[in-house]
Structure 1
Amino acid sequence: MSLKILLSISLPFVLFAQTVVVPDDYQISQDEDNSYIYSKEYAPILPDIKSYQHKVIKEYSSEFGFKFDDKLRTGLASQNNQIANAYSTQIPFNSQLFYGAGASEIDYFCSNSWLKTLILHETTHNFQLNPKESKLSWFSHKVVGNTPVTFLALFPLFPIPNIMINSFILEGNAVLNESRFGLGGRLYSGYALAEVVAMAKAGKIRPELMYNTTLDFPYGEKYYLIGGFFQKFLAQKYGVKKVNGYFKIHSKQIFPFFTSSAFRNTFGKTFKVLLAEFVEDIKVKHANFQTTQGKEVASSQLFVPMNSTNNEIYTLIGDYKSYPKILQFDKKSKKIKFNRGAYRSGEPFKIDGKYYTTSSVKISPTKIKMGLVDDSAYMLDSSEGKVIQGFLSNSKAIYFDIEKSIETPHIYIDGKFYDTSCSSVF
C-alpha cells in the first residue's frame, strides 16, 4: 500500500522528531515486517532496498539470536536534506533514518554502496538495542513501551536494557558488520588502521579511555574505528555469531550496567582482559609500523584532504577549540601562511582567490544542500547539490551529483555524465 502524505503534517514522529529533516512530500510503503517512508527519488530503487534489507534482517536474526518484537520503520530523507549521515533508535519505535548525501564520504567509508552500508550499519543498531531477555525488562516494556527507564516504587526497570551499552561496543560492532558483506567498510580503511596502530603504540587504548567520553583525540571517532577493529579481533577469535550474540546476553541483566559481566558470560573473559589482548595483537601484527619523520610545520585534528593550485598547496587544519585555518604553503618561497575563518570541516577549494570547503548548509527554511561553503556559511551557487572533485585545465568542474549518487557516486564533467566511481576522483 502506498499513501502520499505531507511530512510536516503527518509523517510519523518516530523518524524525524530527533533530527534535522525539512518538509517535503513523502510516500509510505507497508510490508508485513517493515515500513518505508520515502520521497520520489527513492521510488526506482525501493524494491532493491527492500530486498537487500530483508536479506540482512534474516541474516542478523540468526546471528543475534532473535527476531524483532516490533515492525522496523525505515525513513529515506529527501534530497532537500543533503547530509552524509544516518541514525537508528528504539524510541519511541524500532526505527532508522537514512540521508542520501554519502558520496562526500566515499573515501572515509571505503564502500561501493552508501545505502547498503547504511542498511548494514544502522540495522545492526536496531538489533543491538531490541532484545529484552530479562523478564522484568520484557514485562515493563509490555506496560510502558519503548522507554529507557521506569520505576516500580523506587525500583528501576529497564524496558530497553541495551540502551545502557557503551558507544565503543555499539558503534564498533556496527562498523564490524558494515565491513563483512563484500561492500567495503571502514575496516578496509588505511587511515583507520593507522589511527588504531598509532593509538595502540602510544598506550592510548585503555578501558577508561575507550569506555568514557574524553576531550582528547580521536574524540568520538574512537568508538567507530578503534571499536571496529576491536570487534574484528573478537570475531576472528570467537566467531561473528558469538560476537553478535553478546547483545542478547547483555539484555538478560536486571541492572544492565555491567559490561565485564556480559563479556565474561559471552567470551569467558572480561572486557579489560580482551582489550589488552587486542592491543597486544595490534602491536605484534604491526611491529614494523613507522611514523612519518620530518619537520613539523603545523598540527591538526581534522581529517581533510590537501589541494593545490599552480602556486600553492593548501588544506584546512583545526583543533576543535577555535576557528579552523586554511594552511597555505607557497611552492616557490616555501613559506607558510594561515587564513583563519569560520570554515566548516570539509575538503577545501580555492576559486577566484577565495577559499571554500565542501559541506552541508541550510540554504533556505526548506532546503539543506551540499556544496562549496565560504567562511560566512554562504554556498557558492554553482556548487549546490554537488561534491566537487576538482577542475580541468579549462576550468570545467568535475563533481559527484548528489541526487544521482544515492547508491553509488556518479561523476559529472561540466553537467555531462561521465561514469560511476567507488572513490574520489582526484
Structure 2
Amino acid sequence: MYKTVFISIISSASLLSSVVVPDDYLIFADENLSYFYTKEHSGIMPMTKKYQEGVMRIYEEEFGLELDDELLVGVASSENQIANAYSTQIPFNSQILYGAGATYIDYFSIISWLKTLLIHETAHNYQLNPKENALSKASHHIVGNRAVTFLGLFPLFPLPNVLESSFNLEGNAVLNESRFGNGGRLFSGYAMAEVITMARAGKITPELMYNITLEFPYGEKFYLIGGFFHQFLAQKYGMEKVNNYFKAFAKQPFPFFTNDVFEKHYGENFEVLLAEFVQEIQTKHHAFQVTQGALLATSQVAVPLNRNADEIYTLIGDNKSANRVLALARGSQKLSFHEGAWRQGELFKIEGQYYSQSSAKTSPTAIEMGLFDKDGTLKKGSEGKAFQGMTAKGDEVYFDIEKSIESPQVYIGDDFYGESHSSIHVNKKDVYYFKQKGNQRTLYKNAEALTSFEGYYGFVVDVDSSGAIYFIATSKHGSTVYCLKNKTIKRVTLGDDVI
C-alpha cells in the first residue's frame, strides 16, 4: 500500500516538476505521519519527524482542526537538486520537499532550509484540509480528494480551500514560516523594501494582489506582500484568529467569497483590511529613502552583482526574453551587454567565461545544481556545488548541495570548512560570512568572529584594499549597505532599497 501511495505522490510531482524518481526509497511510517526518503537522509529522519510533530501540535490548536487523513511526506533524493517544495491534498494529504535550498539562504533569511520547508508546507496542509460544510463533507466522502466534482450540472467542492487566493494561502504560510525561531522572509530587508516600494507606488490593490497578473513582482507578491499583510492581521487579531480563518473559509459550499468571509471572521472585509495595511506601511515607513544616481539598466530578475579586477557584472532580464550579462568596466565605466541563454542565478566569471549558478535537468536520471555557461550547459566539475568564489590559490569555495539540506555546508577545495548561514564572500585567501545563534547574527572573517547584531538578514558583498568589510543588512525601512572598519559599523548608503 505504501509503495502505491508513494508512487502516486511522486508521479504527481514528476508531472509538475520533472523530478527524478529513485528506486531505493525507504519508509518511516506511523499512524498520522509517514516519510518516504532515500538512504542518504536516514540520519535526519528522527529529528525531522520530531520537529514536524511539534509544529503540527501548534497548528492543530491554531487552525482549529486535526488533519482528517495521514500526512505523507516525500523527501526527495539529491538526484533532485531543486530549491523548492510543495504541499497538496490531491490525490493525498501530502508534501514533497527538495533539499537544494542553500543558494536561497540570503533570500529566505533562515537558519535551516529543511525546517523552513516543514513549517511552510505543513501550514498549507492545514489550510487546505478542512471541509466545514455539509456539501463538501458529503462529496469528499464519496469522491475523495478532488478540487471539484459534479452532480449532474451542479458543482460540488470536496476541498473548498483550494479555491482560495494564493495571496492568502502563501501569505499565511510565510507568516508561519517566520515565527518559529528559524528566521524567515518576514525578517528579510529585501522583502521589506519591496513591500514598502509597492505600497508607495499605489500597487498594493485588491485586484493586483488577489489575482494572478503579468505585472512585477509577479508571483512573488503572494509570498512577500502576502506575508507582511498576514503579519499585519496577526498583530491586529492574533495568530490563532489568523490561522483559524481557513476553517471559516471552508464553511462555504461555494468557496468564492473572500470578502464575505473576511467580514464575518475579522469584522472588516478583505479590501478594507488591505487598505488599512497599505496605510500603515506608508505611515510607518514615510522616511523610506530611494537610492539616487544615474540609471544604467533595469531588470526584473533579482541577481546579485559580482566583480573582478576589471569589471562589475550581473545577469539581467525582463522575464520575456533570454537573460543577458550586463558588465561595467571599472576603469572606463563603459557599459556592455552580452547575449546568451544563461540560466537565472548568480553570475561568476571564470577564465574569461561567464557562468550562472543554477539548477537544471542534465540527464534522464539527474537534476543538478552547478555552473551553467551561456548555452545552458553544465560546467564539468561544478556538479552538486553552489559555487561561492575562488581563493587566490585557485581553490573553489562552495556549498556541497547533497550535505546542505539543513544549513549550507562550506567546502574549500576538497576540504570541509564549516557551516554558514549566509552566502560566502571570497577575497584573496579569506572567506567572509555570517552565522546565526538565536536572533544574533555574527560576521566572520575565516574562523574569527568580528561583530554581531540582532536579526536574520545580512550578507557580505565586498572587502576593500584597507580591509573594510561591506555588507547588506536590514535598515529601519528596508535594506541598505553597511561598512565594518576598525570594529565600528557605519551605514554607507542612504537608500533603503539596496538589495
Asked if 2 retains the 8 angstrom alpha-carbon contact of 1:361 and 1:370, the reply is: yes
Q: What is the one-letter code of the residue matched to 2:257? A: F
User: 1:35 matched to which residue of 2?
Assistant: 34
Q: Is residue 168 from structure 1 mapped to residue 141 from structure 2 by the alignment? A: no
**Deviation of 1:249 (Å):** 0.3
User: 1:328 matched to which residue of 2?
Assistant: 327
How big is each residue's C-alpha offset from its partner over 1:22-50, in whole Å with a ceiling of 9 and x where there is no partner?
13121111111011000111100100000
* Matched residue SS, 1:282: helix
What is the percentage of aligned positions where both structures have the same residue?
58
User: 2:496 matched to which residue of 1?
Assistant: none
* Matched residue SS, 1:383: coil
User: 1:422 matched to which residue of 2?
Assistant: 421
Structure with the higher fraction of residues in helix conformation: 1
* Matched residue SS, 2:359: strand
User: 1:261 matched to which residue of 2?
Assistant: 260
Q: What is the one-letter code of the residue matched to 1:51? A: K
User: 1:349 matched to which residue of 2?
Assistant: 348
Structure with the higher fraction of residues in strand conformation: 2
Question: Structure 1: how far apart are the matches of 2:108 and 2:202?
Answer: 26
Question: Structure 2: how far apart are the matches of 1:258 and 1:291?
Answer: 38
Question: Structure 1: how far apart are the matches of 2:100 and 2:30?
Answer: 26
Asked if 1 retains the 8 angstrom alpha-carbon contact of 2:263 and 2:269, the reply is: yes
Question: Structure 2: how far apart are the matches of 1:310 and 1:159?
Answer: 61
Asked if 2 retains the 8 angstrom alpha-carbon contact of 1:412 and 1:419, the reply is: yes
How big is each residue's C-alpha offset from its partner over 1:300-348, in whole Å with a ceiling of 9 and x where there is no partner?
0111111111101100001011111100110011101000111111000
* Matched residue SS, 1:369: strand
**Deviation of 1:393 (Å):** 1.2
**Deviation of 1:20 (Å):** 2.3
* Matched residue SS, 2:72: strand
Q: How does 1:54-203 map to 2 (within 5 A)?
A: 54-203=53-202
Question: Structure 1: how far apart are the matches of 2:280 and 2:10?
Answer: 41
Asked if 1 retains the 8 angstrom alpha-carbon contact of 2:71 and 2:94, the reply is: yes
TM-score (norm 2): 0.83
User: 2:18 matched to which residue of 1?
Assistant: 20
Question: Structure 2: how far apart are the matches of 1:17 and 1:132?
Answer: 23
**Deviation of 1:74 (Å):** 0.1
Q: Is residue 44 from structure 1 mapped to residue 39 from structure 2 by the alignment? A: no
Asked if 2 retains the 8 angstrom alpha-carbon contact of 1:15 and 1:95, the reply is: no
Q: What is the one-letter code of the residue matched to 1:398? A: V
How big is each residue's C-alpha offset from its partner over 1:34-82, in whole Å with a ceiling of 9 and x where there is no partner?
1100011110010000000000111100000000000000000000000
Q: How does 1:227-246 map to 2 (within 5 A)?
A: 227-246=226-245
Asked if 2 retains the 8 angstrom alpha-carbon contact of 1:15 and 1:96, the reply is: no
Q: 1:170 to 1:408 in 2, by over 3 A?
A: same
- Aligned residues between the structures: 421
Asked if 2 retains the 8 angstrom alpha-carbon contact of 1:264 and 1:270, the reply is: yes
* Matched residue SS, 2:399: strand
* Matched residue SS, 2:28: strand
Question: Structure 1: how far apart are the matches of 2:188 and 2:420?
Answer: 17
Q: Is residue 340 from structure 1 mapped to residue 342 from structure 2 by the alignment? A: no
How big is each residue's C-alpha offset from its partner over 1:96-142, in whole Å with a ceiling of 9 and x where there is no partner?
00001000111111000000000000001100000000011011100
Question: Structure 2: how far apart are the matches of 1:360 and 1:220?
Answer: 20
TM-score (norm 1): 0.97
User: 1:385 matched to which residue of 2?
Assistant: 384
Q: What is the one-letter code of the residue matched to 2:413? A: D
Residue ranges of structure 1 left out of the alignment (5+ in a row): none
Asked if 1 retains the 8 angstrom alpha-carbon contact of 2:10 and 2:21, the reply is: no
Question: Structure 1: how far apart are the matches of 2:277 and 2:72?
Answer: 36
* Matched residue SS, 1:382: coil
User: 1:281 matched to which residue of 2?
Assistant: 280
* Matched residue SS, 1:423: coil
Residue ranges of structure 2 left out of the alignment (5+ in a row): 426-499
Q: What is the one-letter code of the residue matched to 1:152? A: L
Q: Is residue 367 from structure 1 mapped to residue 366 from structure 2 by the alignment? A: yes
Question: Structure 2: how far apart are the matches of 1:16 and 1:245?
Answer: 32
Q: Is residue 311 from structure 1 mapped to residue 310 from structure 2 by the alignment? A: yes
Per mean C-alpha deviation after superposition, the further-off stretch among 24-33 and 220-229 is 24-33
Question: Structure 1: how far apart are the matches of 2:422 and 2:308?
Answer: 22
**Deviation of 1:10 (Å):** 7.9
* Matched residue SS, 1:315: strand
